[in-house]
Amino acid sequence: MLDIQGPKNWTGKIFGGRWIEGRGGEVAVVEPATGNDLGQIGVATSADVDDAAARASSAQREWNSVSFKKRAEILRDAAGLLRERADLFNSWNIRECGSIEPKASWELDATYDQIVMAAALPMQPNGLSFPSVIPGRCNSWRRIPVGIVGVIAPWNFPLLLAIRSVAPALALGNAVILKPDLKSAITGGALLADLFADAGLPPDVFQVLPGAAETGDALVRHPAVNMISFTGSTAVGRRIGQICGGSLKKYSLELGGNNPIVVMSDADIDSAVSCAAWGSFLHQGQICMQAGRHIVDRRVADEYTTKLAERARRLVVGNPAVDQVHVGPLINAQQAERVARIVTESIAAGADLVTGGSRRGNFFEPTVLANVMPQMSAFKEEIFGPVAPVTVFDSIDEAVDLVHASEYGLAAAVHSRSVSLATAVAHRLRSGMIHINDQTVNNEFHVPFGGMGASGNGGRFGGPANVDEFTQTQWISAIDTPIQYPF
């Protein structure tokens, strides 16, 4: 069993610049593979959000006055500490979140990359100078921090999907209030609080308030919070967008996906199936970029489905904390029940169960469904489970129509031996990210990341997009001699 011992300053606490009691009491940290309690974490209320925002307002002004060199140094120190504490972070990711070890290690490495990239942001050019039609006037246009950024992060990649907002927001002079999901409040919250505190970040610049819907709603509505960065479901994202829009608050939404992998008749089927299995079954399919729909040319559909099922059957399901497995538990019973419902409904509607389909507690077998039609649950819904639904097409136009039968537009993949053909198909797809001869679960820290349609509001994370997301712009004009106007 992986060791998660060590100092637990966070037991029953929230982080308001220091570990303090939350007004919402405390909840158990539950291991999804066993149902065992791993500890207790404090729960923040709307009153805790009020206090945190008040502290952050003062801290942010001082933090913004810190030199860019010092801010970068603190972030680099945090990255170094993350490497030193890799075993601790990975162990919690495995036990608290059900991650297999390779997924946890990849997430930690990607998080390190995000912090290091963010550390380079403060030294980048932060404005432009424009000419003026008025003699003697100087026009400068600069970027300034948004102020307080509220980050609401999910449970599936809790470390990476928190830090991709937290790190650049801090680097650019903002204060951050992070609300991790209660199902991942240690991996994606408490451990980060200690990390940045130990790296020398001034108190109250970064605060961690674990909580459920009430806490998130209070953060979104708080007038002192100037921006919300949310990663999660489309339904919740729509509500956040309405609230932020009503208060003219900046917001960035990275939402759900029902991502297609399109397989043309000339594709390398073995390679396509390898990509498909990874895209559908990695982290039990609990990824917004999961390959949720397999749209396959009828001429190769039987071969594709057979080979995909063979790969699915070889995957070992079990507790990643004690065994070497490919597929761990779903995050909780509610999610396992949801995946089972989608599979059962689709089979009842006429889909063929090729392999899998069985649930054992929070574990669900890697599943392949054939003859899935657009009206079926497995095609329409974001599954968030280890299920690969296969739908056939007879023409490129039909394939494009099937892709667009979903309101989502996060990620897609196209497989063909002809890159020019695959690129032509990609150009017709409404998707924020498209990968040719690869799978849908792709992330590179320096490339802007985000979706279209119901998958987001146009916000992007990564590389130069971070500067746009976590700053606002200001025009300052100056002239030595005041202008004399006609009246």
pLDDT tens-digit series, residues 188-232 = 999 999 999 999 999 999 999 999 999 999 999 999 999 999 999
Give the per-residue pLDDT at 149: 98
Give the per-residue pLDDT at 458: 84
Give the per-residue pLDDT at 377: 98
Give the per-residue pLDDT at 445: 86
- pLDDT tens readout for residues 64-73: 999 999 999 9
Tell me if residue 244 is catalytic: no
Average pLDDT, the chain: 96
Cα 368 to Cα 326: distance, rounded to the nearest angstrom? 16
Give the per-residue pLDDT at 244: 97
Give the per-residue pLDDT at 390: 98
Give the per-residue pLDDT at 455: 95
Domains and CATH numbers, the chain: 13-255+456-475 (3.40.605.10), 259-436 (3.40.309.10)
Give the per-residue pLDDT at 170: 98
Tell me if residue 288 is catalytic: yes
The single residue of 97, 275, 288, 382 carrying the catalytic annotation is 288
The single residue of 31, 96, 107, 254 carrying the catalytic annotation is 254
- pLDDT tens readout for residues 337-395: 999 999 999 999 999 999 999 999 999 999 999 999 999 999 999 999 999 999 999 99
For strands 127-130 and 138-145, give the pairing. antiparallel
pTM of the model: 0.96
Block means of pLDDT (10 residues each) for the chain, 487 residues, are 70 96 96 96 98 98 97 98 97 97 97 97 93 96 97 97 98 98 97 97 98 96 98 96 96 96 98 98 97 98 98 98 97 97 98 98 98 98 97 98 97 98 98 97 91 92 92 97 93
Give the per-residue pLDDT at 7: 57
Give the per-residue pLDDT at 8: 78
